[in-house]
A and B are shown apart, each in its own frame.
Chain A
Amino acid sequence: MKTTSFLRWESMLAVVIVLEFVLFSNISPYFLSVDTLSDASFNFTERSLVALPLALLIIAGEIDISVAAIIALASVAMGLGAARGFGTPYLVLFGLGTGLIAGMINGALVTVGRVPSIVATIGTMTLFRGAAYAVLGDRVLKEYPESFAAFGQGYLAGPVSNELMLFVVFAVVFAVFLHRTRWGRVVYAIGANPVASRFAGVAVNRYRFALFALTGLFSGLAAVLLTSRLGSTRPSIAQGWELEIISIVILGGVSVWGGKGSIAGVVLAALVFGLVTFGLGLMNIPGIVMSIFIGLLLILVVAVPAILNRR
């Protein structure tokens, strides 16, 4: 019975996407062109790449508020590397490595330090973002080599950007991992009841640590893409993204109480998010207005089942 209510939410998201298509293509003649839609994908690919591992983390009953700060820190690491003349492969390594280490710090705080994850990651969010400011101050780093631009600005084939391709590939990988493998099953079990999982022989803390590290790694990946696309690093890069990324995950039907959610939902939510941003942009309505829409959807996703369950 639980699966059906999920399906219901996912089909609701699909309906929202169709409505957006109808609405925006009626409003703007440019909307339904392949190039436009390809441009639109940049509105969500970077955030959604982080949303994938974060969905796993939230399903496992934890949360990571520090993702955007990790992006900033990783971007600073790459910027500093670029300023010292390191080549593109090294820069990518710096970005991914910084993300991974930051994620491992979160994981260690939660598993070894036994700090509740929301508290720990509010702390590391301040720490990582603070480190980015401390290192850069009001400077901007923009001496990236030309080849570095390929990640965030390049296209794989025709209108399919590298970012979009990465998102599609990883969405499939995460969906298979979460829904088809035994490790995915364990992620759900940990979220539904961590104590019983431990008593079923699951190394709960090892999973938690790995999920935090994974989320950090993907924040590093998002940093590579975003920095490559913008071509510059400021300490305020990706400011406020943590709440947008968490919004995508929750909008996708993942329960903040843990134990419930699907990758399909998260992917659909990412599309809703991206289309709203882009469609309103076409209509010259600033992004801040669409936050009303996202906010209402967010409340709706938890309110609808709550109201239905009352009866």
Chain B
Amino acid sequence: MNPAKLRLSEGARRDLTLAVLALALFLAVTMAYPDFAKPANLAGLLDDTAILIMLALGQMLVILVRGIDLSIAANLALCGMLAALFNRALPEAGILPVLVLSLVSGAVLGAVNGLLVWKLTLPPIVVTLGTMSVYRGAIYLLSRGAWVNENEMTREFLGFTRATFLGASTLSWLALSFAALFIVGLGRLRLARDLYAAGGNPEAAAYAGIDTGRMQFIAYTICGAIAGLCGYLWVARFAVAYTDIALGFELQVIAACLIGGVAIAGGKGSAFGVLIGCLFIGIIRSSLPLVGVSAFWQMFINGLVILLAVLLSARSRMFNRVILEAPRA
């Protein structure tokens, strides 16, 4: 057997299977409802899925180094509120400072998670569960519980995400560029390869001179920055900021990563897989009304897809076991 082919069969085969499934689903829906493939509908689908894609890419980095970020949605909400308040206070400042502010504030919140995990080696699930609560509470203190409404936002603030280019919104283009950036970066950047190594075997990584804690810090910071940016994007897209936006979204983001083939044990996952996983969810979501199924079924179907995906990958792990090899020396 050609070993090069064998290598492709690891993660790439999973990504391909998922892509084929997503495509098949897409074609099936299109056959029955030709309107589904209309550019306007596709643009809407992408626009709906864009924020999920970006957040899932960030979350993937964290899971790759054996972490998890439960605070991602709270981070988003806090940075979104910051952006909205900033825009209200300084409406003439324009869009650039808003973007910088949300990116930087998100990065700082992510870095707090990263520092606690790195410097004190605390369990990631507890740290981010804690910061999740703290960040949510902070939104309330910041806004005193009040909403920032559409009429308090500038046209520029609201318009940025909605402007279209070649039929797709800025939001969609942003998500696609992030995906492209991640696909290229994770495959080719040295830092990214070290991230995979650290997640695959932290002890061996230490001997190779990689500080796994530092890698986790970097992953959390990038994830935080993405969450921060998405905070502004979310607020601008839905034209409202309040304490509870994106409540519970962290678990949907993690679920998207799982469907996209990211291994919760670390070291395995690809940006392409995550992109396809998110699109898969998006296709289901936007086809439900066409097929005449109530949108309330969306979550149930997502649950089925997640369980199917993880059960299948658990199966394949079981059968991959090397015959007549000692379990572990």
Contacts and interface: CB of A to CB of B under 8 A. Distances in A.
Say if the two chains contact directly (CB < 8 Å): yes
Interface of A: 63, 65, 109, 113-116, 118-120, 122-131, 133-134, 136-138, 235, 239-240, 243, 246-247, 250, 256-257, 286, 288-299, 301-303, 306-307
B251 A130 contact: no
User: Which 8 pairs from chain A and chain B are nearest by CB?
Assistant: A127-B303, A295-B133, A130-B300, A130-B299, A292-B137, A126-B303, A295-B134, A298-B130
9 contacts: A113-B311, A114-B318, A115-B307, A115-B310, A126-B300, A130-B297, A288-B136, A292-B138, A302-B120
A303 B314 CA distance: 34
Contacts of A247: 129, 133
Given A137-B296, A288-B136, A295-B132, 19 more contacts: A63-B125, A119-B306, A119-B310, A125-B251, A126-B252, A127-B300, A128-B303, A130-B298, A134-B294, A240-B247, A286-B145, A289-B137, A294-B133, A296-B130, A299-B126, A302-B123, A306-B120, A306-B121, A306-B122
| Most chain A CB atoms below 10 A, which of B133, B135, B138, B243 | B133
Majority secondary structure, B binding face: helix
B307 A250 contact: no
A291 B307 contact: no
Contact of A298 (B133, B138, B141, B306): B133
Contact of B137 (A65, A124, A291, A298): A291
A123 B255 contact: yes
A237 to B, nearest CB: 14
B248 A240 contact: yes
B116 A299 contact: yes
B304 interface: yes
Contacts of A137: 294, 296
Contacts of A291: 133-134, 136-137
A299 to B, nearest CB: 4
Contacts of A125: 251, 303
Contact of B258 (A122, A133, A239, A288): A122
Contacts of A257: 123
A288 B243 contact: yes
A289 B130 CA distance: 13
B310 A120 contact: yes
Nearest to B131: A295
Nearest to A244: B133
